[in-house]
Structure 1
Amino acid sequence: MQKIIVLDRDGVINYDADEFIKSADEWRPLPGSLEAIARLKSHGWWVAVATNQSGIKRGYYSRHTLSAMHQKMQAGLVSLGVKGGQGVDWVSYSPYLTHDHSPSRKPGLGMLQAIEQRFGLSLAGAPMVGDTLADVQAALGKAMQPVLVKTGKGQRTLQTQHPLLQQVTVFDDLYTAVEDILK
């Protein structure tokens, strides 16, 4: 059976900002995050990203700019020795705002359903790493294993003490989460 993991982007793979990451120049990987993805790839995992990107609808950046950010992420993986075309396997994003009530925006399940369709598999039981309650809710909605990292909005999320967080494994960052997943 193919191993797959779903990662949130902002705050998990790259630095997050309350005022949004609006360009490829602003997109900077968190320490160890690309190395974590490279480790997953070297162990035969498929890596999918599910990311809310309301900055598109807000007019802060275009879909083309978002693509440039993801190309920078893939180039960073190539620089670590991950073969071209073998980096992140799939990126699903939702450009909608919370009040749009789009099923694609986390905690909705649309992006996760798209990942299932793309790979022809169920995500049930697969890990999903995020930094927000919406990530946890989406993971639980698909019967996935929610993992919360303290980077990005992770510390703020933990401070809410939401009851759903009792079902979540917590790590300092993506690298330490991946080390545990690969055990």
Structure 2
Amino acid sequence: MRKAIFLDRDGTINVEKDYLHKIEDFEFEKNVIEGLKILAELGYIFVVVTNQSGIARGYYSEEDLIILNNHIKDILNKEGIKIEKFYFCPHHPEKGIGKYKVECNCRKPNTGMLDQAVEEFNIDRKSSFMIGDNISDIEAGIRAGMTSILVTTGHGKEHIEKIKEMGIKFFDSIYDFAIDLKNKKEHCILSR
């Protein structure tokens, strides 16, 4: 079985911008590429799981989202980082229009996207992490049997108090989490 880092997208990988869907508005959070390189060196695969209610609300199309996700994937590929797959939830139970106004099992904090990736990529839940900037990311990770990590980028700072109550670790960024994990792994090796 493989170990994975499940990544929220907006506010975690890229700078939070309301309903981001244009390539020209995309920008990585600070040191994300460096952080992902460290995690890849530690043997993790990457899966992106993202709620995209902008599709449900009619602000942009699934095609717009796929174009942006492919752009992100291409940049990361050039840096030697492989995203196995981008999963997205285009639904919203209240604000959705047409076929997108549904209660679904894929919208975080539900675990549909995570469960699908576990099945598709033979992922070991117990050795995997869910990283995000929102309570819904944290809850999805917990419900899916993974270790959840909050990053204080994006909306993360708004959730620190709640996260502390839940006993969840938080870091300033993916990079800071990666450094911490690397140091722990090195310490374990040295302690043997």
Q: TM-score, normalised by structure 2?
A: 0.84
Superposition deviation, residue 126 in structure 1 = 1.3
Aligned residue in 1 for 2:76:
77
Give 2:87's match in structure 1, choosing from 92, 96, 110.
Answer: 92
- How far off is 1:165 after superposition? 4.5
- CA displacement at 1:105 relative to structure 2: 0.1
Letter in 1 for 2:85: W
Query: Contact (CA 8 Å) 2:53, 2:89: kept in 1 or not?
Result: yes
Pairwise CA distance, 1:145: 0.6
Which segment drifts farther, 6-15 or 28-37?
Answer: 28-37
Report the CA distance between 1:63 and its aligned residue. 1.5
Q: Secondary structure of 2:153's match? A: coil
Q: Distance in 1 between matches of 2:63 and 2:40?
A: 26
Equivalent residues in 2 for 1:152-171, closer than 5 Å: 152-158=154-160, 161-162=161-162, 165-171=165-171
Residues 44-66 of structure 1 deviation map (CA, whole Å, 9 limit, x = unaligned): 32101111011111111111211
Larger relative helix fraction: 2
What is the CA–CA distance in structure 2 between the aligned matches of 1:77 and 1:126, rounded to whole Å? 20
Matched residues in 2 for 1:35 and 1:64: separation? 29
Establish whether residue 135 from structure 1 lines up as the match of residue 137 from structure 2. Answer: yes
Q: TM-score, normalised by structure 1?
A: 0.88
1:6–1:128 Cα contact (<8 Å) kept: yes
Unaligned runs of 5+ in 2: 95-101, 184-192
Alignment-mate amino acid for residue 90 of structure 1: K
| 1:69 aligned partner, one-letter code | L
- 1:164 offset after TM fit, Å? 7.1
In the superposition, relative to structure 1, how do residues 28 and 98 fare at CA in structure 2: closer, same or farther (>3 Å)? farther
- Give 3-state SS (helix, strand or coil) of 1:30's partner: coil
Q: Matches of 2:114 and 2:26 in 1, distance apart?
A: 23
Aligned length: 176
Unaligned runs of at least 5 residues, structure 1: none
Sequence identity (%): 28
Indicate if the aligned counterparts of 1:7 and 1:48 stay in contact, CA closer than 8 A: yes
- Structure 1 CA distance, aligned partners of 2:149 and 2:165? 9
Residue of structure 2 equivalent to 1:3? 3
Any idea what SS the aligned residue of 1:61 has? coil
Measure, in 2, the Cα distance between the counterparts of 1:115 and 1:78: 20
Tell me the distance in 2 between the aligned counterparts of 1:36 and 1:154.
Answer: 17
> How far apart are the structure 2 equivalents of 1:122 and 1:44?
13
Does 2:31 align with 1:32? yes
Aligned to 1:106: 108
Alignment check: 8 A CA contact 1:23 1:61 kept = no
Which stretch shifts more, 148-157 or 39-48? 39-48
- CA apart distance, 1:163: 6.4
Matches of 2:179 and 2:14 in 1, distance apart? 18
**Offset, 1:182:** 2.7
